């Protein structure tokens, strides 16, 4: 194995998303998204109306990112800032905000990596059927074209849809499916098919308008282990990988449904309606790279098929299970975070290797991080050694994966700065920069550098040698 370090032009970055950080949810012409209208938040959890107030403080935040030494910043554009109703009239103030944000990043030498859609579907489109309605594909294509027209001269790296697989596997949590439907899963897989088409059209458009730009998908990918060496557990792990990982990447990269995933859809009556030219459109997509989010591995066992396969406590990183297909299991070899997520840096490397071998495309990690209840101590000190430990172990595995031939072009941990977590509010913190607020008190929203800030700064300065 070669002693290869991180490439010279490696994208050391940090990530956020619009609805979690910006706030200003109804300012300057922005329309409501499904996130703004979601009423399913746990009691005592803050909403997304203020976030970290990044909309008003982006210059201050970008100055801190520059001090941290970030080479790239992965953020998302709020669709409803550009098109308040998802389509129709463009909101000039929204265009202006992201123009200013992108210019500020470039002035500070930070590469903008832009996610086009991060869970926040315009509510006006949701009311017309959302992703179940094929018109949403056209609306997304129009939105993508508008982004390329206004920002394509400066943005070289685009991500289409963040964690599409999580929106399908956890559709209820993100507010894109009606829980009262007769067959919600069939509906979700129809939505999934339409999202695939929207993604493919955006990729094609990007290549047409800006041949030198790069664009790729951004699912959440996790290696799946069998609970034992029992052959049936091995099959269960393959089943889980197919419906959780490969269905999304096979479609993005090859323009076809994964065969194991498709047989699962057909068997359960979940398969989507596919129109005549759909597969042709999907084959044309041709991503330039794969972005993916990784927090933990998954472990599964053989389905019991007795009604116990499906757990209601799952989230993005805890297996829910699929009746008759696989059942979630815990991994005794791994530690867990205080939120029940298993910590598996070696699994991260295994995931990198597997994606690299399957698709032979450059990879960029767009989320990886540790959510925790950080404590602000006297003198504005946040000793988040547990975050440093988590990130250090994962970065070391990145380095080993690169030495093994994985074409990794960037690492953007979640998150650059504290923001409001999708399910656990602002108390579950991920950032290198502390935002002084809690669930029910905005306080002064002051930015405070955590211990991990100084640590990550040294990692970047040394191009990953000082870890």
List Cβ neighbours of 268 (8 Å cut-off, separation of 6 or more): 185, 324
Which string of b and e fits 34-46 if b means at least 16 CB within 10 Å? Answer: bbbebeebeeebb
253 in a domain, yes or no? yes
Q: State how beta strands 335-336 and 342-343 pair.
A: antiparallel
1 in a domain, yes or no? no
The pLDDT score that the predictor gives to residue 1 is 43
The pLDDT score that the predictor gives to residue 16 is 98
Dihedral of alpha carbons 424, 427, 431, 437, sign: positive
Is residue 367 flagged as an active site residue? Answer: yes
5 in a domain, yes or no? no
Is residue 439 flagged as an active site residue? Answer: no
| CA angle in degrees (0–180, nearest 5) for 168-233-359 | 55
393 in a domain, yes or no? yes
The pLDDT score that the predictor gives to residue 59 is 98
* DSSP characters over 61-119: HHHHHHHHT-SEEEEE--HHHH-TTSSSS--HHHHHHHHHHHHHHHHTT-EEEEEEESS
Helix, strand, or coil (residue 267): helix
* Residue 165 lies in domain: 11-461
Per residue in 223-237, pLDDT tens? 999 999 999 999 999
Distance in angstroms (rounded) separating the CA atoms of residues 302 and 324: 9
Active-site residue identified among 111, 163, 187, 342: 163
List Cβ neighbours of 52 (8 Å cut-off, separation of 6 or more): 20, 21, 22, 23, 61, 417, 418, 419, 420, 426, 435, 437, 445
Question: Secondary structure of 405-457 in the HEC alphabet?
Answer: CCCEEEECCECCCCCCECCCECCCECCCEEECCCCCCCCCCCEEECHHHHHHH
CATH code assigned at 35: 3.20.20.80
The pLDDT score that the predictor gives to residue 313 is 59
104 in a domain, yes or no? yes
Distance in angstroms (rounded) separating the CA atoms of residues 196 and 200: 6
185 in a domain, yes or no? yes
Active-site residue identified among 104, 302, 322, 367: 367
Distance in angstroms (rounded) separating the CA atoms of residues 210 and 237: 40
Low-confidence ranges of the chain (pLDDT < 70): 1-3, 171-180, 312-318
The pLDDT score that the predictor gives to residue 322 is 86
Distance in angstroms (rounded) separating the CA atoms of residues 121 and 160: 13
Domain count, the chain: 1
Distance in angstroms (rounded) separating the CA atoms of residues 129 and 135: 9
Per residue in 252-310, pLDDT tens? 999 999 999 999 999 999 999 999 999 999 999 999 999 999 999 999 999 998 888 88
395 in a domain, yes or no? yes
Of 370, 372, 377, 382, the C-alpha closest to 451 is: 382
158 in a domain, yes or no? yes
């Amino acid at each position: 194995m070669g002693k290869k370090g991180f490439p010279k032009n490696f994208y050391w970055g940090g990530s956020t998303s619009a609805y979690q950080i910006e706030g200003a949810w109804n300012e300057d012409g922005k329309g409501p998204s499904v996130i703004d209208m979601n009423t399913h938040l746990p009691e005592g959890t803050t909403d997304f109306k203020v976030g970290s107030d990044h909309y008003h403080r982006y210059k201050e935040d970008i100055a801190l990112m520059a001090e941290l030494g970030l080479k790239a910043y992965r953020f998302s554009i709020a669709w409803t800032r550009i098109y308040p109703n998802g389509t129709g009239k463009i909101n000039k103030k929204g265009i202006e905000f992201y123009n200013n944000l992108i210019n500020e990043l470039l002035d500070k030498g930070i590469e903008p990596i832009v996610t086009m859609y991060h869970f926040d579907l315009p509510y006006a489109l949701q009311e017309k059927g959302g992703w179940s309605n094929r018109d949403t594909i056209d609306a997304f294509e129009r939105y993508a074209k508008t982004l390329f027209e206004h920002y394509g001269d400066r943005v070289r790296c685009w991500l289409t849809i963040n964690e599409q697989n999580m929106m399908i596997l956890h559709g209820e949590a993100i507010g894109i499916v009606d829980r009262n439907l007769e067959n919600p899963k069939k509906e979700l897989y129809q939505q999934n098919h339409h999202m695939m088409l929207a993604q493919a059209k955006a990729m094609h458009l990007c290549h047409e308008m800006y041949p030198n730009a790069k664009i790729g998908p951004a699912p959440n990918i996790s290696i799946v282990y069998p609970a034992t060496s029992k052959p049936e557990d091995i099959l269960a792990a393959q089943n889980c990988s197919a419906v959780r990982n490969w269905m999304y990447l096979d479609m993005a990269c090859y323009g076809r449904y994964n065969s194991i995933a498709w047989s699962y859809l057909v068997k359960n009556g979940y398969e989507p309606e596919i129109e005549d030219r759909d597969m042709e459109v999907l084959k044309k997509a041709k991503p330039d790279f794969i972005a993916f989010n990784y927090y933990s591995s998954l472990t599964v066992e053989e389905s019991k098929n007795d009604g116990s396969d499906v757990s209601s406590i799952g989230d993005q990183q805890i297996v829910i299970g699929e009746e008759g297909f696989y059942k979630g299991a815990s991994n005794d070899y791994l530690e867990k975070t205080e939120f029940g997520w298993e910590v598996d840096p070696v699994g991260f490397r295994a995931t990198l290797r597997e994606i690299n071998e399957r698709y032979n495309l450059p990879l960029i990690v767009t989320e990886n991080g540790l959510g925790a209840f950080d404590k602000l101590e006297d003198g504005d000190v946040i000793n988040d050694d547990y975050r440093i430990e988590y990130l250090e172990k994962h970065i070391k595995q990145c380095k080993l994966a690169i030495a093994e031939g994985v074409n990794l072009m960037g690492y953007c941990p979640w998150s650059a700065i504290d923001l409001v977590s999708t399910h656990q509010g602002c108390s579950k913190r991920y950032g290198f920069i502390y935002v002084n607020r809690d669930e029910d008190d905005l306080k002064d929203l002051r930015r405070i550098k955590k211990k991990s800030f100084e640590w990550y700064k040294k990692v970047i300065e040394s191009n990953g040698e000082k870890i």
